[in-house]
Structure 1
Amino acid sequence: MNMNVVKGFQSKEIERWAKKHLVSGSAVISDGLACFSSVEKAGCIHTSIVTGGSPDCVTLEEFTWVNTMIGNVKTAMTGAYHSIGKKHLPCYLAELCYRFNRRFQLEDMLPRLGYMAMRTPPMPGDLLKLAEGDAQVIPFRRMIFTDYLAFRYTFTHN
């Protein structure tokens, strides 16, 4: 699962997102919202299913898992976070995707947590509060992730 924040449902924004996150030639199925046709400009194959917005549209087989995932994400976020702001929304979504994508790797949870705790230096509160898009934090996170992969490989293969 991969979820990203978009500025709005305008054609240019969806096209920008598709060029960044989708591989050319990907098959995209969407509801009847007109802006989603712009994924074709990113080289994707687009199929639009007009749902009409009635309560019956949630029963369409093509959207069953998408609707389930969106409902689960909304429930998890409103249950865990009492105030969800735009500034930190990318971080909340990234956390949920991270946990979801590793839900079958529970045996790695404690070694991963221990390794990250050992490798993460103390960090001032101001740095912790930065939004995801701030350039100072991203290289630091990538460095830790790369080091973790090297550690995990040696830890599991020795």
Structure 2
Amino acid sequence: MAKNLIQFQKGLSFPDFLAQYGTEAQCGDALFGWRWPAGFVCPECGHAEGFTALRTREPMQCRHCRHQTSVSAGTIVAYTKLP
């Protein structure tokens, strides 16, 4: 019987996955780094002047145009109800 290549592909073990992405803060930091590797760039106006973190909600606000976005907006996990 042939070896199932999908089942035996290299990747992270479950303990390694939990060590890297086990908390919500670790996941958010990873998503931020993948989405904006050179720092925050507003998806609306394109300015890289930075953002303001809102105190009452998750979204970030562009300092130039005040457009609000989040790390997960526009991604596959955008509308998930899970933390």
TM-score normalised by length of structure 1: 0.16
Q: Which has the larger radius of gyration?
A: 1
Higher strand share: 2
Write 1 or 2 for the structure with the bigger share of helix. Answer: 1
